Amino acid sequence: MGMDAKTARVKIWEELEKVARPDSRFSWDFGEFITDYEGSDRCADLLTKQDIYQKAKVIFITPDNNLEKFRERAFLDKKTVVMTNYGITRGFFLIRPEFIPEGKEELASVLDGVARFWKHQTLAQLMESVGHIDMMVTGASAITPSGIRFGKGHGYFDLEWAMLYTKGIVDLDVPVVAVGHDCQVVDVPVEVTDYDTAIDYIVTPTRVIRTRNEYPKPTGGVLWYRLAPGMREQIPPIQELWCEGHCK
């Protein structure tokens, strides 16, 4: 393709503007959130047909806009779901099938609605309540077939992986899925860091791609020196992990 990652991101955002749905908070600022787009319901259809989904009992799903329909499908299929709020500022939450009254699955799929049904969990409580997560699903700003997400700088999903991996709630065999529009999949070279959580599958409105898995998933846990300023103070499960090692 001859593009670098920076050029690719500009091109992707130009294409996204044609299909994206604005966010109530961030409008069209694709650097601040993962946008929803035309066809995200087809992503949910394709993903729920996969064996990895059908076998999974407990699924971690990020609070990204393009995963709204997928969250609804997971609730309808009686999956146990683990989520965070945007920015992880309130930590992890558990939604068991029995928490959502019948007919309220669509309400629970939106971020304002799910707060009526979910239950907050510390990492220690999550170890007790679910033990192991069978599958992780995230949105993405841009994805390479080599298995790397790029284009949005907050790194929340990488941090979620690191925290869950540290506690043994996920392991290297847990399939990680990135969901995005076809225009967000680009085969360009990217700079890979030691905390980038590699992706096993990419799901778009038209296809499921098994990535080339060119990079290992990180096993170093939370890299304290790489945390952005304020993250430790603002993210409760980060404080929980920090205290385990520093509050004795």
What tens digit of pLDDT does each residue of 92-119 get?
Answer: 999 999 999 999 999 999 989 999 999 9
What tens digit of pLDDT does each residue of 183-200 get?
Answer: 999 999 988 988 999 999
Strands of 117-245 (E only): list them. 119-121, 135-139, 142-143, 149-150, 176-179, 201-203, 208-210
- SS3 label, residue 29: coil
Q: Domain count for the chain, please give it.
A: 1
Alpha-carbon span 85 to 3, nearest angstrom = 34
- Stretch 74-90: mean pLDDT: 96
So what's the pLDDT on residue 1? 45
Domain boundaries, position 193: 5-246
- Stretch 134-159: mean pLDDT: 90
pTM beyond cutoff 0.75: yes
What pLDDT band is residue 31 in, cutting at 50, 70 and 90? Answer: low
What pLDDT band is residue 247 in, cutting at 50, 70 and 90? Answer: confident
- Stretch 143-167: mean pLDDT: 90
So what's the pLDDT on residue 89? 94
Which CATH number is 159's domain given? 3.40.50.10420
